[in-house]
Amino acid sequence: MPKLAKIALGLSLLMALVAGPAAAANKAQVLNEGALKLYDLIGGIKGAATQRAMTAFKKAGLSYHKELTVPIEGMLKCKSPEQLRLLLGAHQFDTTYAMIFGRKLEILAVKQYMETDLTDALKLRGKVRQSRLNPVEIKEITDYPNSFVANGIIIRNTLTNIELWIRAAQTDPEVMQVLVDGLYGAVIQGLYVSCKLGLAAGPTEKLVEVFNEQNRRVQMANEAIAAFAGEPSLAEMVNAGPRQKFIKDVQGVLADKGGKLSEADLKQILALVEPERAQFVQPCP
């Protein structure tokens, strides 16, 4: 081998040795920063505010329609890991939707399913510590589903688990992938339910805050995905390119109209949302 070729080979090997740890350190830093960003978006006070903001549905005179929620029966055996992660987020939205209309028993059924069957399907048992409802809390929700205490139990449990997930995601890319995919799945389901309810009710001024809240949720997902877009392997992990395009297309309707959406606008958003949603909501044969 010529002398210059040997030198070039040696330099490339040296650069690879140096770049390896540097890339790993950068990935770890992006992962940690992404976790902090997620906490800022959906944890703590922000998380509680996001839960409360869903009351816009009730204030607009909308109602609970179970047929718009994602079923929990026969959903898991045919799903890919990504579809399962999206499903987790969609169910999380459905629990919030149920909560604002006092459907505590539906929430309890979905939460128990998420903590057992869906967690097992995602092979997450042991990776993330979860705060489960204890028998006393379950009895309170079952016996007094419309009570203020039952409502507080559910919100507190949800926010505690969000914090536990984010803490685990700081150092575990697999857990982070579940969180980001879940956030995206929640956005898809939220847009679907909002647009279906909006079409049924007919566009009115009362719906403005409903769609402004959906736009805020879409923006949260966009910021979460953008937090990983600069690190190639993490950008690929969160499917950054296609999802950012989808978000841009949806925000082109939501943000430009300031929440004042026409029937045509709602149908335009649904035309974007339904193909995304169809990937993960179909029951298994």
Which segment, 55-64, 67-76, 144-153, 218-227, is predicted with the most confidence on average? 67-76
pLDDT tens track for 73-89? 999 999 999 999 999 99
Distance separating alpha carbons of residues 104 and 145, to the nearest angstrom = 5
The dihedral sign for the CA sequence 199, 276, 179, 20: negative
Torsion from C-alpha of 60, 65, 69, 72, nearest 10 degrees: 150
CB 184 within 8 A of CB 243: yes
Give the pLDDT band of residue 46 (cuts 50, 70, 90): low
CB 183 within 8 A of CB 92: no
Residue 15 in this model has a pLDDT that exceeds 70: no
Distance separating alpha carbons of residues 79 and 280, to the nearest angstrom = 7
Residue 13 in this model has a pLDDT that exceeds 90: no
Predicted local confidence at residue 45, as pLDDT = 67
Amino acid identity of 251?
Answer: Q
Predicted local confidence at residue 211, as pLDDT = 92
Predicted local confidence at residue 21, as pLDDT = 46
Predicted local confidence at residue 6, as pLDDT = 46
Average pLDDT over residues 214-242: 87
Residue 5 in this model has a pLDDT that exceeds 60: no
Percentage of the chain modeled with pLDDT above 90: 36
pLDDT tens track for 106-158? 988 998 899 889 989 998 888 888 888 898 988 888 888 778 888 788 888 88
Q: Which of 251, 242, 265, 180 shows the shortest CA–CA distance to 215?
A: 251
Give the pLDDT band of residue 10 (cuts 50, 70, 90): very low
Predicted local confidence at residue 24, as pLDDT = 56
Least confident span in 61-70, 108-117, 146-155, 276-285: 146-155
Predicted local confidence at residue 151, as pLDDT = 79
Residue 277 in this model has a pLDDT that exceeds 90: yes
Residue 273 in this model has a pLDDT that exceeds 90: yes
Predicted local confidence at residue 19, as pLDDT = 41
Give the pLDDT band of residue 7 (cuts 50, 70, 90): very low
* Entry pTM: 0.84
pLDDT tens track for 152-211? 888 888 888 888 888 888 888 888 899 899 999 999 999 999 999 999 998 888 899 999
Distance separating alpha carbons of residues 103 and 66, to the nearest angstrom = 10
Q: Which of 209, 173, 254 shows the shortest CA–CA distance to 61?
A: 209
